[in-house]
Structure formats: C-alpha cells, structure tokens
Amino acid sequence: CSIFDNIASGALVTMDEAWEAAKMAGFADDIEAMPMGMHTVISEGGSNLSGGQRQRLLIARALVLKPRLLIFDEATSALDNRTQNIVSESIDELQVTRIVIAHRLSTIRNADRIYVLEAGRVVQQGTFEELLNQEGLFANLMARQMA
C-alpha cells in the first residue's frame, strides 16, 4: 500500500485532500523527501517509517475526512515539540471536538476542560491554568515535567 492509500484508507479522497491532511499532521515534508512521494510504498507494519512518521500517518488518516470528533490516546507521544505544535494548530483550525488522553501535559494546554484521573477516578477538573494554580496531582505532574 502507498502512503496515499494509507491516508485515504478506502475513502474517496483526492490527492489534494491527502496532501492537506499530511500537512495538518506535520507529515508533508517527510513525504516530499521520499523518492516516490505520496506513491511511496509502505512495508508491512510500516517498518520503513519511523515511530513518529507512523503516528503522523495515522493522524493524517484521521484528519483527511475532517471529522467532527477525534479521540487521541497518546497520539502525539512520538512527536517532537515542533511537530506536535503543527498538529495541535491544524486541529484547532478544524474546530473539531477532541478527547485527548495524554501524559505530556503540553498537549492539553488549550483544552476547554481537563479531567485528571488517578487510579481510574477523576481527582481534579478544570482548565490548564486553573489546575496549574491549585495544589494537587496536576500541578505535581506539571512540576515534574518542567524539571
């Protein structure tokens, strides 16, 4: 299967739409650097892509049809901060509802509502700033990530 086929995932998607999704996922530059571009064949299991490239390919696949709801479970964990920012800004522009499960707290900085779970129970909720300014698990986790 080619990169285009993977992004389209069987849907009726144009090449332009696939490129737009790749740009939103921060993957377009990588694709352009490949000898066959969008027509580059991906090996079984994506072994000829890095972990970050595989994540960006899956993000592009999720974005190509411009969904109203996205559920991301550690979807940007293998991305560097620059690429993560590209993805976040692109998704912000789509104005799509997102449910994000994340350990890297910078990925949820702009969330409307954050729920902090401990042992399967909600122990805090609020905006990023509200949670940062109150004592609790969120502030402790943030302090550890900033150290």
Determine the pLDDT at residue 21: 96
Q: What pTM did the predictor assign?
A: 0.80
Q: Which residues pair with 121 in a beta bridge?
A: 118
pLDDT at 28 over 80: yes
- Please, what is the average pLDDT of the chain? 90
pLDDT digits (tens, 9 = 90+) for 109-124: 888 999 999 999 999 9
- Lowest mean per-residue pLDDT among 105-109, 115-119, 134-138: 105-109
Q: How far apart are CA 90 and CA 94, in angstroms?
A: 7
Determine the pLDDT at residue 95: 82
Residue with tokens 């991305």: 79
pLDDT at 79 over 80: no
Nearest to 38 by CA among 56, 54, 18, 52: 18
Nearest to 40 by CA among 22, 20, 62, 24: 22
Determine the pLDDT at residue 7: 97
Residue with tokens 């590209």: 86
Q: What DSSP letter does each residue of 58-113 carry, written as one string? A: HHHHHHTT--SEEEEESTTTTS-HHHHHHHHHHHHHHT-EEEEE-SSGGGGTT-S-
pLDDT digits (tens, 9 = 90+) for 44-66: 888 899 888 998 999 999 999 99
Domains identified in the chain and CATH numbers: 3-111 (3.40.50.300)
